[in-house]
Amino acid sequence: MLTPLAVLVGKALRFVLRLRGGGSAVPGRIALMIQPKFLQKTLGRMSSGIYFVSGSNGKSTTTAMLVRVLREHGLRVLSNPAGGNLPQGLASALLADVNLLGKLQHDVAILEVDEAYGKLIAAKVAPNGLLLTNIQLDQLNRFHSPEEVFDYLDDLATLTTDLIMVNGSDRNTERLALKHSQRLSAHGVYLSQKALKSAAHGILAAPDFSNDDSNLKLAATLETAKGTKATISLGAKPFAITLPAPGLHYAVDAALAIAFAKQILVEKFSETMAAKAISSLPAVYGRGEIIETRGQKLEIIMMKNLPSLQANLDALDVSPKRVWISVDEGTPDPSWIYDIDLGKLSKVDVISGTKTYQWATRLAYEGIKFGKLIESESDALEYFLGLPGDEKTAIVNYEQMMWLRKKLGLLDLEGGNG
């Protein structure tokens, strides 16, 4: 009886709060207070299992790709929007889909989980499988070191019951999967040398100082990556896919998603359908996304952290003509911008956000010319869109990306249209 009550109260709260605008974790928190086993009762009924996607970068894109491939094969897939990384956020998201008895009409759950918080969800509903994209330098103010991220993901793998798949060319995730290979079916997606060399700075994995050179069972090889084209081999003849945005990092995400989908679907898996699914996927929410506004094309390049910005800069064919950099307190310590190879930027038109002068100092030391320094991002946006030209590039941190999308009238939730 607790589950229907939790659903009823949670749904009512969710309805009221959404009338006031925006999402909230409150309905989920209340549902969990009424029925502490809410996640188990709802997610535990998935006929094809529950799978988690985590890692430093590429979680959202890989999750979106995996969801798309599974749906292409006819599975009813449940996934979580951004903000659903904590148990209460996930419970809130589930309230949208469960019926009054707490039942979901889905076959499989694909959940993007935060590196640190994933184990909180896993402690409630153990995932059948875990897909790890990478361990990279990310949010040092929060994680302090990639070694700490390794430990978090190690805890998550410990709570996983059957399967782990990782980017095998990332020595840290490979080592993590190897650690669990006695208990879990452990697989690696590897990059060919040609693919590795296709981006100026490779896959930007965090350093690893272990001496283990063992390899995982090969699940897939990313053979080539160039622009939005990639070829992947699952053991037989390589097949081609088209990526939602150019870049080696998106090709790796796609290879991981396809190889993991094959593990879930087993004999039902079709390379043709997987390739079709990936190739029809639009750019994922602020990751290489191009927004049309005022007759201009505004490409959003995310600078979530060093690897994400470097990967996105590496993917540029030519220097962007018009560039706006905007970074706020979502990036409390931007010291890492000194590690970025800024060779792809010939000039920057405007810098904004609370970190305006830290970025300007960086560019000045590099000898890269910049135009206006406007701390107010709203004023900077107006100035930038008023500049001549119809193809422009915004380099923004995650928080500025969210602000910018909202400002330009894009009100969908991240992952909400997965």
How far is the CA of 374 from the CAs of 301, 362, 368, 378, 397, in angstroms?
19, 16, 17, 9, 16
* Contact status: 280 vs another protein (CB under 8 A): no
The two three-digit tokens of residue 28, written as one number: 């989920």
Q: What is the rounded distance in angstroms from the CA atom of residue 56 to the CA atom of residue 228?
A: 22
Which CB, 319 or 361, lies closer to another protein? 361
* Contact status: 17 vs another protein (CB under 8 A): no
Query: Interaction with another protein in 360-389: which residues (CB under 8 A)?
Result: 360-362, 364-366
Q: Give the count of alpha carbons within 13 A of 373, CB side only.
A: 12
Enumerate the β-bridge partners of residue 395. 301, 325
Which CB, 162 or 208, lies closer to another protein? 208
Q: Give the count of alpha carbons within 13 A of 82, CB side only.
A: 15
Size of the site for another protein (CB under 8 A): 30
The two three-digit tokens of residue 133, written as one number: 């994209």
* Contact status: 139 vs another protein (CB under 8 A): no
First and final CA of the chain: distance in angstroms?
Answer: 32
Cβ neighbours, 10 Å, residue 73: 16
Are 259 and 187 in contact by the 8 Å Cβ rule? The answer is: yes
Select the span of 6-14, 114-122, 205-213, 288-296 touching another protein (CB under 8 A). Answer: 205-213
Give 25's contacts (C-beta < 8 A, 6+ positions apart).
83, 86, 88, 89, 91, 92
Taking CB under 8 A as the criterion, the residue among 144, 268, 297, 407 binding another protein is 144
Taking CB under 8 A as the criterion, the residue among 161, 185, 279, 358 binding another protein is 358
Q: Which residue in 106, 188, 116, 110 sits closest to 152, CA to CA?
A: 116
Select the span of 154-162, 207-215, 315-323, 377-385 touching another protein (CB under 8 A). Answer: 207-215
Q: At its nearest, how many Å lie between another protein and the CB of residue 160?
A: 24
Q: What is the rounded distance in angstroms from the CA atom of residue 243 to the CA atom of residue 230?
A: 7
Q: At its nearest, how many Å lie between another protein and the CB of residue 100?
A: 45
Query: Interaction with another protein in 314-333: which residues (CB under 8 A)?
Result: 329, 332-333
* Contact status: 140 vs another protein (CB under 8 A): yes
State the binding string over 22-61 for another protein (x if CB under 8 A, else -).
Answer: ----------------------------------------
* Contact status: 212 vs another protein (CB under 8 A): no
Residues of this chain that bind another protein (CB under 8 A)? 137, 140-141, 144-147, 207-210, 329, 332-333, 335-339, 354-358, 360-362, 364-366
